[in-house]
Structure 1
Amino acid sequence: MKICKNKQSMEQYFETCILEHGKSLFNYIYSLVRHKELAEDLYQEVLISAYLALPSFEERAKVKNWLFKIAVNKCRDYWRKEKSANRFWEEKVYLYAEDSNVIEQPEELILNKCSQEEMVVTLQDLPKMYREPLLLFYYHNQTLMEISNLTSLPISTVKTRMRRAKDRLRPKVKELVANG
């Protein structure tokens, strides 16, 4: 198909391309992101970008390949933004908490008051999967992200294990404080 430079013929050409390749384009985007609503949003962004860039389309390229390349780039942009947003929550939130005068949680106060030796003995009663993140966090001053990287676990799993470990420790630590 030959692209004419007048607006009406460009719109007709674009409409023909979308009718011909739209479904396969959407399926391709969906195969990349595996989320229907996200795929729909990205599909719309691809169509808008393609329409705006249509005057610069080089006829020697195949239009389907051109549309799919725009789709890949839109998906990469989305993943980059998503990764950046997640990085904020995984790293920067903890930095803000350390910088500000946040009131420590009661279990953190108790953990800090107990002697290190008694606490390590108490920690030995926990299963390794719960003990390891606590030791890394409180005794080796590792951040949650560092623990996640060291253990090859998602940060959400590290948080869950730390919470469960604290829940299991709470009654034992109360005994230590009462006896100490």
Structure 2
Amino acid sequence: MRDKMTDLFEEMVIEHGKAIFNYIFSLVKHKELAEDLYQEVLTSAYLAFNSVKEPAKLKSWLFTIAGNKCRDYWRKENKAKQFWKEEVYSYSSIVEAPPLPEEEVLHKDSAKKMEETVMSLPEIYKSAIFLYYFKDFTLLEISKRSNIPISTVKTRMKRGKEHLRPKLQSLA
């Protein structure tokens, strides 16, 4: 025997289901993916249906769930893409042939000139740029180490790069 809640949910799906599917499809532009996400939306909506306090807002509630499911999908997709980019990059660096001795000398020389150029910056910019590019610190680590907000670190990095640009163009 079906309960009243299931009947109400079914009515809601009949009334708003097509609009929800079309909304998801318009976001992801892929029919099979839209169908999968639509099923996830319906499952989530069904599980949370008894928590809806205002039946008049069911349609917007469903659209919110649909938008969140699409956002979750994109977030997962971007993480997977980033992982593969990083993996491909790390494997490609292993497979590459070792640099020729003259290339190594040129690289060391340009790295030394780059470091000297960074060290000629005003102190306020120099430390953030040096720690980030030469010591591989994260912005958060620089923020904690310098005891300044991360937004200040970002600003100093940006302004430091602006100071570096003309100096580096003269090296090229």
More helix by share: 2
- Aligned partner (choices 113, 117, 123) of residue 100 of structure 2: 113
Q: Post-superposition shift, 1:113?
A: 3.4
Following the alignment from structure 2 to structure 1, what is the Cα–Cα distance between the partners of residues 90 and 5? 52
Moved more, 27-36 or 83-92: 83-92
Q: Post-superposition shift, 1:97?
A: 5.8
Structure 1 equivalent of residue 6 of structure 2: 11
Mapping for residues 24-173 of structure 1, pairs under 5 Å: 24-59=19-54, 61-95=56-90, 98=93, 102=94, 104-105=95-96, 108-109=97-98, 112-113=99-100, 115-116=102-103
- Structure 1: gaps spanning 5 or more residues: 1-6, 117-180
Residue deviations 1:121-172, cap 9 Å, x none? xxxxxxxxxxxxxxxxxxxxxxxxxxxxxxxxxxxxxxxxxxxxxxxxxxxx
Following the alignment from structure 2 to structure 1, what is the Cα–Cα distance between the partners of residues 38 and 74? 15
Runs of 4+ in 1 over 2 A off after TM superposition: 92-98, 112-116
Following the alignment from structure 2 to structure 1, what is the Cα–Cα distance between the partners of residues 35 and 22? 10
- Structure 2: gaps spanning 5 or more residues: 104-172
* SS, match of residue 3 in structure 2: helix
Structure 2 equivalent of residue 127 of structure 1: none
Following the alignment from structure 2 to structure 1, what is the Cα–Cα distance between the partners of residues 55 and 39? 25
* Amino-acid identity (%): 58
Following the alignment from structure 2 to structure 1, what is the Cα–Cα distance between the partners of residues 31 and 92? 36
Q: Post-superposition shift, 1:62?
A: 1.1
* SS, match of residue 58 in structure 1: coil
Moved more, 57-66 or 71-80: 57-66
* SS, match of residue 62 in structure 1: helix
Assess, with a 3 A threshold, how the Cα gap between structure 1 residues 14 and 73 changes in structure 2: closer, same or farther. Answer: same
What's the TM-score once normalised by structure 1's chain length? 0.52
What's the TM-score once normalised by structure 2's chain length? 0.54
